[in-house]
Amino acid sequence: MSVTLPTSMSCPHCGSVDATRAGRRVLKSGEERQLYRCNACFRRFSNRNRAGKKTDPEIILRALILVCSGYNYSDALAVLRREFGSTVPTKSSLSRWLSSFPLPWLDVRDRLLRPGELPVRAHLFTHAKLPYEYQIHLPKLRFAKAHGGLADYLTGLPQFLDHSLFERAAHCSGLRLAENPGLRHTRDIGLTRLAAAAVSLAPNNRRRHAALENYFLYGDRNTVAVEVPVYYYDKVFDGLIAGHIDLVQVWPDKVRLLDYKPNAASENPARVVTQLSLYAHALRFRAHLPPGCIECVYFDEKDAYFFEPAPIRAAPPEDRALVEADTPFQVISAETGSPSGPAVDQDGFSVYPADQAEGAGRMF
């Protein structure tokens, strides 16, 4: 029998709400769970929410965002009732969620958030017929003054951005760099744990990117912007380069560009390094950042790969076939460090000298 599912129970593989009941599964605990077969992608799934909660994960994420925005419990629940109706939980549930999900921003929220201030400013851009929700976190940006004109660039984007540039710019995925900067690989660090928490609050796979970006922007201490448009004219490739950076973080000694890849370990490193290196050079040019202050990372819930932006030198045409065939990259474990850069600690961040250890790796 075909049924139409509520949005919170849509297929986790393709997002469709058109499904057919496909029996029940009895767990070891004795609990029965309804199984469904998606009529769009024909894969099976259960009626369990991704966050492992009875409450719609979208409600949980919205509740966490409200508290990170400065709402107290009563005001947050009032907003949730207005938006979601009678399915809103109690204060005890809200308190339990706050203790279950890592939200480093809450440690400094009361110190950095001004009374009555809405921390996030959002703008919807349409580039190449695709929507991009550009968002910036104003309290965190106030501490980005040491990084060139980054704060000025991010806050002024909606006023001066020429959207037509993104209609005619080259796609970075089709370009290749000759330089292989090497990758520093880490697992189970603070970054990946935040990603796992964020993805668990996505109602389906199609919406996990947006859930992760919102979770990092509101709940992380260092993420200052998401879906950041960047562009510049590159002489090496003789063309306009443009794209959108998933997340931009500000650290005491660096600006970090993050790109979420659902299965990072299976990505073609040459493709990702080229994309992020070009974005890094575009951001450095637009924000007047000094050389060597940008670090790039692509990651998922398990793995994170760190590297310094590669120099802009195009791979010769005869080498393109080798690059497309996944030319092996030098991957260095967290314990050994990079021959051309610092070692990384247990959280995957650069190891600081002993006299800088106190508070190292934190912006606030």
Residue 322 phi, psi dihedral angles, 5° rounding: -65, -40
Most confident of the ranges 8-22, 219-233, 263-277, 306-320: 219-233
> Residue 333: what pLDDT?
56
Provide mean pLDDT across the span 202-208: 87
Q: Residue type at 265?
A: A
- Report the b/e string of 181-210 with b at 16+ CB within 10 A: bbbbbbeebbbbebbebbbbbbbbbebbbe
Question: In the sheet where 18-26 sits, what is the strand order?
Answer: 2-4, 18-26, 32-38, 44-46
pLDDT at 344: 40
User: Which residues partner with 306 through β-bridges?
Assistant: 184, 297
Residue with tokens 């045409």, as numbered in its chain: 317
Q: Give the model confidence (pLDDT) of 154-185 as tens digits.
A: 999 999 888 888 887 766 656 666 666 678 99
Beta pairing, strands 44-46 & 239-250: unpaired
Give 57-101's CATH code, choosing from 3.30.310, 3.30.420, 1.10.3470, 1.10.10.
1.10.10
Summarize pLDDT for 313-339 with one digit per residue, the tens.
Answer: 666 654 444 344 344 455 565 544 443
What does the angle CA 74 – CA 76 – CA 81 come to, to the nearest 5 degrees? Answer: 95
**Cβ neighbours of residue 331 closer than 8 Å, sequence gap 6 or more:** 182, 183, 184, 185, 269, 305
Averaged over 185-201, what is the pLDDT? 92
| Amino acid (1-letter code) at residue 116 | G
- Which of 87, 80, 82, 81 has the alpha carbon at shortest distance from 61? 80
Q: CA-to-CA distance for 139 and 157, rounded, in angstroms?
A: 17
Lowest mean pLDDT among 78-82, 117-121, 152-156, 352-356: 352-356
Contact between 190 and 107 (Cβ < 8 Å):
no
Looking at the chain, the domain(s) classified CATH 1.10.10 span 57-101
